[in-house]
């Protein structure tokens, strides 16, 4: 089969991104806005954005930081805590401030100390979300310290996700940044109301990448990359043509100094070349004809939002990803730093 020299797709969206706040927001936002028309913006700020007012104010700060002339819409999420109130969540949805609500199990990841300690604490909120059709975005990792870090996602499915879906079969749920064959299988066999995002890193690397010749902090994110057979299962899911899987980068910038540290932060900054990274996978899997659905169609259809107008063209053109990038004075190391990528967005 001949490989085309260029690929034009409908403008894509990123269904999971960390844009941060303060000065670094203005530094990282253009990388996302250059590639994506919309993005689901994570609320794990410090302190987290929990109320309608806080999330609306964060949305305003994003719009203020957006360079003139860039066409980008942030789709906001609220951070659920044990104290979340169903009426407040419904008001956020009705007023068009919340596109989804985010479940971080307490202590699962960056800024999750205020997360949910047990599902029972947010039962009334979830029942309301099921009723009004507000999607739940889930960081799917069990947090019991006895559980091996590589098993946290599979254990979460067994102990939390499967029972939750059984109990609330109408809840719209996005299992985010899936990393295991178990998660891909769970989503595939669940109802139409269950979907998943997949990051570029989990399609490119397995857990060996974190230890290649030494400790590699820029390959560390949560959920952590797993064994090779999981990566292959994720590639299969992403390129399968199933409408249940769609693009969500989980781009999570941390200053280089915070990554290259005795206790390095979790997160991979993949926003600068996200599309180029994903399309490489679809090319390798001989599935370029399925890239548009994954990047630009499955997400909006799941969320019940219109497809974007306009297109983006990727050309086969090899280039080297920079070792470092600047975000308003914060030094960041992008995913694929120093590597060659074979597709580039045409201007
Ligand atoms: O690697 C990660 N980084 N995983 C998350 O769940 C959070 C994110 C962050 O905010 O840094
Ligand atoms: Zn995330």
Banded model confidence at residue 1, pLDDT cuts 50, 70, 90: low
Residue nearest to atom 7 of ligand 1 (CA): 110
Residue 252 in contact with ligand 1 by CB distance below 6 A: yes
Residue 202 in contact with ligand 1 by CB distance below 6 A: no
Residue found by looking up tokens 């010749």 in the block: 213
Residue 254 Cα: closest atom of ligand 1: 11
Residue 110 in contact with ligand 1 by CB distance below 6 A: yes
- The best mutation among 219, 265, 271, 333 to test binding of ligand 1, ranked by most ligand atoms within 8 Å of the C-beta, falls on 265
CA of 254 to the centre of ligand 1 (A): 9
Q: What is the H or E stretch that residue 131 is in?
A: helix 123-132
Q: Which ligand is nearest to the CA of 267?
A: 1
Q: Give the pLDDT confidence of 26-71 residue by residue, as tens digits.
A: 999 999 999 999 999 999 999 999 999 999 999 999 999 999 999 9
Residue 111 has a pLDDT of: 87
Reference 12, options 33, 36, 41, 30; nearest CA is 36
Residue 18 Cα: closest atom of ligand 1: 10
Q: What is the H or E stretch that residue 7 is in?
A: strand 6-10
Mean pLDDT over 160-165 rounds to 98
- List CB contacts of 323: < 8 A, sequence separation 6 or more: 333, 337, 338
Residue 109 in contact with ligand 1 by CB distance below 6 A: yes
pLDDT at 347 exceeding the cut of 80: no
- List CB contacts of 132: < 8 A, sequence separation 6 or more: 90, 93, 94
Q: What is the H or E stretch that residue 201 is in?
A: helix 200-204
Residue 221 Cα: closest atom of ligand 1: 1
Buried-exposed string 102-111: b where 16+ CB fall within 10 A, e elsewhere:
bbbbeebbbb
Q: Which ligand is nearest to the CA of 39?
A: 2
Q: What is the H or E stretch that residue 342 is in?
A: strand 340-345
pLDDT at 83 exceeding the cut of 80: yes
Q: Which two tokens stand for residue 153?
A: 């996602």
pLDDT at 109 exceeding the cut of 90: no
Annotated catalytic residue, options 250, 289, 317, 347:
250
CA of 293 to the centre of ligand 1 (A): 26
Residue nearest to atom 10 of ligand 1 (CA): 110
Residue 267 Cα: closest atom of ligand 1: 1
Q: Give the pLDDT confidence of 166-196 residue by residue, as tens digits.
A: 999 999 999 999 999 999 999 999 999 999 9
Residues 62, 29 contacting (CB under 8 angstroms): yes
Residue 271 has a pLDDT of: 98
Residue 221 in contact with ligand 1 by CB distance below 6 A: yes
Reference 114, options 51, 20, 175; nearest CA is 51
Residues 287, 236 contacting (CB under 8 angstroms): no
User: How does the average pLDDT of the chain come out, rounded?
Assistant: 97
Mean pLDDT over 310-328 rounds to 97
Q: Which ligand is nearest to the CA of 42?
A: 2
pLDDT at 334 exceeding the cut of 70: yes
Kindly list the structural domains of the chain, giving each domain's residue range(s) and its CATH number in brackets, ordered by start.
Answer: 6-345 (3.20.20.140)
CA of 176 to the centre of ligand 1 (A): 11
Residue 267 in contact with ligand 1 by CB distance below 6 A: yes
CA of 136 to the centre of ligand 1 (A): 17
Prior bond of 295 cis (ω within 30°): no
Residues 256, 227 contacting (CB under 8 angstroms): no
CA–CA dist 252, 337 (Å, integer): 15
Residue 201 in contact with ligand 1 by CB distance below 6 A: no
> Is 289 a catalytic site residue?
no
Q: What is the H or E stretch that residue 183 is in?
A: helix 181-189
Residue 18 in contact with ligand 1 by CB distance below 6 A: yes
């Amino acid at each position: 089969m001949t490989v085309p020299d260029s690929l034009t797709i409908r403008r894509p969206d990123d269904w999971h991104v960390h844009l941060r706040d303060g000065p670094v927001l203005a530094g990282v936002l253009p990388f996302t806005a250059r590639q994506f028309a919309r993005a689901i913006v994570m609320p794990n700020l410090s302190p987290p954005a929990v109320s309608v007012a806080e999330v609306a104010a964060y949305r305003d700060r994003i719009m203020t930081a957006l360079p003139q002339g860039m066409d980008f819409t942030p789709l906001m999420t609220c951070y659920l805590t044990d104290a979340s109130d169903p009426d407040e969540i419904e008001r956020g949805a009705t007023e068009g401030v919340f596109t989804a609500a985010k479940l971080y199990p307490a202590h699962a990841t960056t800024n999750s100390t205020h997360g949910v300690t047990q599902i029972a604490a947010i039962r009334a909120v979830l029942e309301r979300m099921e009723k009004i059709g507000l999607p739940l975005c889930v960081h799917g990792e069990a947090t019991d310290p006895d559980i091996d870090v590589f098993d946290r996602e599979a254990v979460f499915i067994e102990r939390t996700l499967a029972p939750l879906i059984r109990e609330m079969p109408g809840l719209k749920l996005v299992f985010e940044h899936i990393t295991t064959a178990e998660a891909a299988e769970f989503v595939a066999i669940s109802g139409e109301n269950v979907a998943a995002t997949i990051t570029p890193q989990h399609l490119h690397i397995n857990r060996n990448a974190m230890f290649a010749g030494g400790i590699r902090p820029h390959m560390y994110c949560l959920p952590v990359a797993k064994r090779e057979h999981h990566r292959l299962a994720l590639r299969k899911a992403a390129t399968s043509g199933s409408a249940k899987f769609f693009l969500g980068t989980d781009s999570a910038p941390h200053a280089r100094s915070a990554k290259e540290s005795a206790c390095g932060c979790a997160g991979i900054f993949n926003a600068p070349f996200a599309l180029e990274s994903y399309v490489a996978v679809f090319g390798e899997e001989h599935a370029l004809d399925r890239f548009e659905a994954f990047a630009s169609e499955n997400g909006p259809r799941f969320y019940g939002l219109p497809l974007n107008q306009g297109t983006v063209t990727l050309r086969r053109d090899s280039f080297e990803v920079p070792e470092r990038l600047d975000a308003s004075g914060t030094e960041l190391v992008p995913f694929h730093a120093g590597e060659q990528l074979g597709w580039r967005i045409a201007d």
